[in-house]
Amino acid sequence: MQDRTMKNKNLLSSKKNSKKAQITVFILIGLIILIIFGFLFYLVNLKERSESEINIEKFTSEVLKPKILEQYTTLCLDEALEQGLILIGKQGGYINFSDDDYLLFNQDKINYAIIPGPVSRQYNLPPIRSSFTKNIAGELKEYIEKETKKCTDFSALQQIPELSSYKISDGTPDAEIRFAENEVIVFLTYPVNFTYPDAKPIKRLVRFVSKENVRFERIYRAVADLVEKDIYDPGFNIIEDSEDSNDFLRISQDAKLNKIDVPQKASSLFVVTDFGSDLN
């Protein structure tokens, strides 16, 4: 009787263990299926996203060709370079003045190339380039970057149907100024950011070039030489003795030098008009 009871208990225990094992197997199978589906979904999603990003990369590369962006950037860059050179030429090498030490003439602020010193007069023309002080290239660079960004409207690209889903923004442009003998060249690097829903932002650096046929460096050397001679030679007359300057003599065939007295400011203004440049 006791043996029979033990057999029944063992049978009952075996059945319970069998059911637990079956449930465990079903749970494991369910988890495996879930993991497989999750992994497949991830692969499909990754493939679609990769293809989408490739298409976006290809599309933005086409859109950001200089010809397409010309109306947004190149015309603005040309205008900024031209106006910057005009301002620097009219204002004696500066665009922005940090103080009131300038001659106001016909609404133009003009830098004093020669200023009184404790013992003798001092040279005050800004250098074309310098790593240590305010300079003409730096003034022009800052002006071009600011004015080009102000003029250019990259958000207008979103009016193009193919780009309506993109969020387009621009970064800070970076200008490099080069003064050659007969021209001034600016190289502008402009960052443009494209953001598409559910995709990584794409950044493109777009490069533009603009130039003006202006003999800026040659004119600058001639003016600097005249200023130095006037400071260090008491008998030198800028107008009458200008041909004693070899630098001015080299440009004199296409340039004209005039003097304007400003008695109310006890100052004299010397104007070089260069007919060998597109801007004069």
> Same domain for 36 and 168?
no
Number of domains in the chain: 2
Query: What pTM, to 2 d.p., does this model score?
Result: 0.74
Helices 136-151 and 74-90, packing angle to 10 deg: 140
Whether 63 has a pLDDT exceeding 50, the answer reads yes
Class of residue 193 by CB neighbours under 10 A (exposed 0-12, middle 13-18, buried 19+):
middle
Phi and psi angles of residue 271, each rounded to the nearest 5 degrees, phi first? -120, 125
> Same domain for 118 and 181?
yes
One-letter-per-residue 3-state SS of the chain: CHHHHHHHHHHHHHHHHHHHHHHHHHHHHHHHHHHHHHHHHHHHHHHHHHHHHHHHHHHHHHHCCHHHHCCCCHHHHHHHHHHHHHHHHHCCCCCCCCCCCEEEECCEEEECCEECCCCCCEECCCCCCCCCCCCHHHHHHHHHHHHHHHHCCHHHHHHCHHHCCCEEEECCCEEEEEECCCCEEEEEEEEEEEECCCCCCEEEEEEEEEEECCCHHHHHHHHHHHHHHHHHCCCCCCCCCHHHCHHHHHHCCCEEEEEEEEHHHCEEEEEEEECCCCCC
Is residue 181 in some structural domain?
A: yes
Q: Tell me the pLDDT band of 44, cut-offs 50, 70 and 90.
A: very low
Q: Regarding predicted confidence, which is higher, 78 or 35?
A: 78
Residue 256, beta-bridge partner list: 273
| Token pair in block for residue 200 | 């990584």
Closest listed residue to residue 245, CA positions, set 264, 226, 230: 226
**Looking at residue 159, what is its pLDDT?**
74
Is residue 70 in some structural domain?
A: yes
**Containing domain of residue 24, as a range?**
1-63
Lowest-pLDDT range, 25-39, 179-193, 220-234? 25-39
Q: Tell me the pLDDT band of 266, cut-offs 50, 70 and 90.
A: confident
Q: β-pairing, 102-105 with 108-111?
A: antiparallel
**Looking at residue 41, what is its pLDDT?**
45
> Same domain for 29 and 93?
no
Answer with the one of 35, 63, 91 that is the final residue of a domain: 63
Q: What is the C-alpha separation between 68 and 42, in angstroms, rounded?
A: 37
**Looking at residue 128, what is its pLDDT?**
93
Is residue 280 in some structural domain?
A: no
- Return the percentage of the chain with pLDDT > 90, whole number: 34
Cα diameter, the chain: 143
**Looking at residue 170, what is its pLDDT?**
83
Q: Tell me the pLDDT band of 70, cut-offs 50, 70 and 90.
A: low
Q: Regarding predicted confidence, which is higher, 141 or 233?
A: 141
Whether 24 has a pLDDT exceeding 60, the answer reads no
Residue 256 CB-half CA count within 13 A: 4
> Same domain for 31 and 99?
no
> Same domain for 127 and 261?
yes
Q: CB–CB of 169/187 below 8 Å?
A: no
**Looking at residue 69, what is its pLDDT?**
64
Each residue's pLDDT tens digit, 157-211:
777 676 677 777 788 999 999 998 899 999 999 988 877 777 777 788 888 999 9
Whether 40 has a pLDDT exceeding 50, the answer reads no
Question: What average pLDDT does the chain have?
Answer: 78
**Looking at residue 48, what is its pLDDT?**
45
Answer with the one of 63, 88, 103 that is the final residue of a domain: 63
- As a whole number, mean pLDDT of residues 46-53 equals 46
Whether 27 has a pLDDT exceeding 60, the answer reads no
> Same domain for 8 and 86?
no
Each residue's pLDDT tens digit, 93-141:
999 987 778 898 888 899 999 887 777 788 999 999 988 888 999 999 9
